[in-house]
Amino acid sequence: MKTIIEPFRIKSVEPIRFTTREERQQILTDAGYNPFLIHADDVLIDLLTDSGTSAMSSKQWAGIMEGDESYAGSKSFYRFEAAVRNITGHKYIIPTHQGRAAEKILFAITGGEGKYIPNNTHFDTTRANIEYSGAVAVDMLNEIGKHPEIRADFKGNMDVEALKKFIADQGAENIPLVMITVTNNSGGGQPVSMQNIRDVKSVCRQHNIPLFLDACRFAENAYFIKLREPGYQNKSMLEIAQEMFSYADGATMSAKKDALVNIGGFLSLNDDNLAMNSRNLLIVTEGFPTYGGLAGRDLEAVAQGLEEVLDEHYLQYRIRTAEYLGEKILAAGVPIIEPTGGHAVYIDAKRFLPNIPGKFYPGQAIVNELYLEGGIRGVEIGSVMFGKYDKKTGELISPSMELVRLALPRRVYTQSHVDYVAEVIIEVFKNRDALKGYKITYEAPMLRHFTATFEPLS
């Protein structure tokens, strides 16, 4: 097997800025030890997110010039609609400016007090939009997905038995829809099998509950199915994606991921009434139904990106990148979620820093050290992001996992960038005994991770 190469050549480059360790120390101190507050210019390799950070292709940029900016009935909308419908098979295609706008519309209509929305694992914005409507967001991840060190093919699968029991307990009439997130971002970017989607659909069908996909990373999920699930080896990526969507009655999508664009999203639906209500709300909050909060040029770029993302050479390179980084650091003993998922490598901070308890934020310690050591920006997904205070004792209650996510922007970095990232992680791991925990010096009442400031413990 020869080296899997980046399946593109580079036509336009963007310089990255080198800093010294002393400069980074000052920058980090000024940012209150929170990499969210660092200027992107001061970051050498930015692995904060894979969302909206893709490099667009020459054809997408050409589409930007082709964009039709007509308020109503733009030809770019019809190209976008055809591209989304080709993959989803859904009747109504509603553009939104990003994923959470689609979620907002969907749950404003279907959610509300007394309602429950099950998912394998809700992403934070999905959970927030459900809870904002008054409904309850329920995670039902398969047991195996909760163990970072256990290798399995489809750790994003939903627990079908738990779903059955939940429907029996709460009543189908209180469950307006069931959702499956592909891939499961909050659980390590792990894929969901076709069999699991089919099984969940069959339970939903028995109770007349619609099934929705949170489809941000549908192409990465489809590629895992091709690699790992019997019966799919000779199917095209498009066929696999179409089959995934064929079990869904609707989908929300942040095009900022697998549509290879910097902004965009959609809500796709089959139900006539829901589509009519969604379009009416769209007009109030996003825009006219043929642009929905986007420019015509953005719709062109999404349409083109949805074609490119299903290219097998691209997906092979994409999945291999995370796997390659994972292999390298794992070989040096760095604990990660295994196997690697589609869009990111997740370091297991609990095993990396067993002596720093959740209340002293081990993930934050690693994130900050990666920046100091090599100018790399990742994100803590642990006690900083999801920690809650006990109302009685005031003690911090940590989530079950302490993770550091290194998300890989699409088509942006080359193999030598990834080699460098691995070297920096390994260096930090070798010096892990010198790492100190952190305490919070400021925090907002909600979503504190974005703006909190920290101080290292002495």
Yes or no: say if 398 and 382 are a contact pair by the CB < 8 Å rule: yes
Tokens of 32: 């209150």
Closest CA to 401 of 118, 184, 188, 121: 188
Q: Which range touches ligand F0G (CB under 6 A), out of 71-79, 119-127, 266-274, 432-440?
A: 119-127
Q: Is 185 in the site for ligand F0G (CB under 6 A)?
A: yes
Q: Which residue has the tokens 């060190």?
A: 149
Alpha helices in 375-453 (DSSP H): 383-386, 415-430
Q: Is 181 in the site for ligand F0G (CB under 6 A)?
A: yes
Q: Which listed residue (126, 133, 321, 364) binds ligand F0G by CB under 6 A?
A: 126
* Neighbouring C-beta atoms of residue 85, cutoff 10 Å: 15
The residue type found at 108 is: A
Closest CA to 278 of 418, 161, 356, 177: 177
- Which of residues 157 and 356 has its CB atom nearest to ligand F0G in the complex? 157
Q: Is 100 in the site for ligand F0G (CB under 6 A)?
A: yes
How far apart are CB 49 and ligand F0G at their closest, in Å?
4
Q: Is 403 in the site for ligand F0G (CB under 6 A)?
A: no
Beta strands in 324-413 (DSSP E): 344-348, 376-377, 379-381, 388-389, 396-397, 403-407
Q: Is 437 in the site for ligand F0G (CB under 6 A)?
A: no
Site for ligand F0G in 196-215 (CB under 6 A): 214
How far apart are CB 287 and ligand F0G at their closest, in Å?
16
Site string for ligand F0G, 47-66 (x = CB under 6 A): --x-x---------------
Q: Is 256 in the site for ligand F0G (CB under 6 A)?
A: yes
Q: Which residue has the tokens 């209340």?
A: 359
How far apart are CB 127 and ligand F0G at their closest, in Å?
10
Yes or no: say if 365 and 429 are a contact pair by the CB < 8 Å rule: no
Q: Is 340 in the site for ligand F0G (CB under 6 A)?
A: no
How far apart are CB 217 and ligand F0G at their closest, in Å?
7
- Which of residues 442 and 450 has its CB atom nearest to ligand F0G in the complex? 450
* Cα–Cα distance for residue pair 316/309, rounded to 1 Å: 11
Yes or no: say if 184 and 139 are a contact pair by the CB < 8 Å rule: no
How far apart are CB 64 and ligand F0G at their closest, in Å?
19
Q: Compute φ and ψ for 117, nearest 5 degrees.
A: -125, 105
Q: Which listed residue (34, 57, 74, 98) binds ligand F0G by CB under 6 A?
A: 98
Yes or no: say if 154 and 339 are a contact pair by the CB < 8 Å rule: no
Yes or no: say if 75 and 247 are a contact pair by the CB < 8 Å rule: no
Q: Is 318 in the site for ligand F0G (CB under 6 A)?
A: no
Q: How far is CA 240 from the centre of its chain?
A: 20
Q: Which listed residue (70, 86, 125, 270) binds ligand F0G by CB under 6 A?
A: 125
How far apart are CB 376 and ligand F0G at their closest, in Å?
16
DSSP conformation letters of 106-138: HHHHH--TT-EEEESS--HHHHHHHHHTT-EEE
Q: Which listed residue (35, 99, 189, 409) binds ligand F0G by CB under 6 A?
A: 99
Q: Is 383 in the site for ligand F0G (CB under 6 A)?
A: no
Greatest C-alpha distance within the chain: 62
Site string for ligand F0G, 9-48 (x = CB under 6 A): ----------------------------------------
Summarize as ranges the residues that interact with ligand F0G (CB under 6 A): 49, 51, 98-100, 123, 125-126, 181, 185, 214, 216, 254, 256, 265
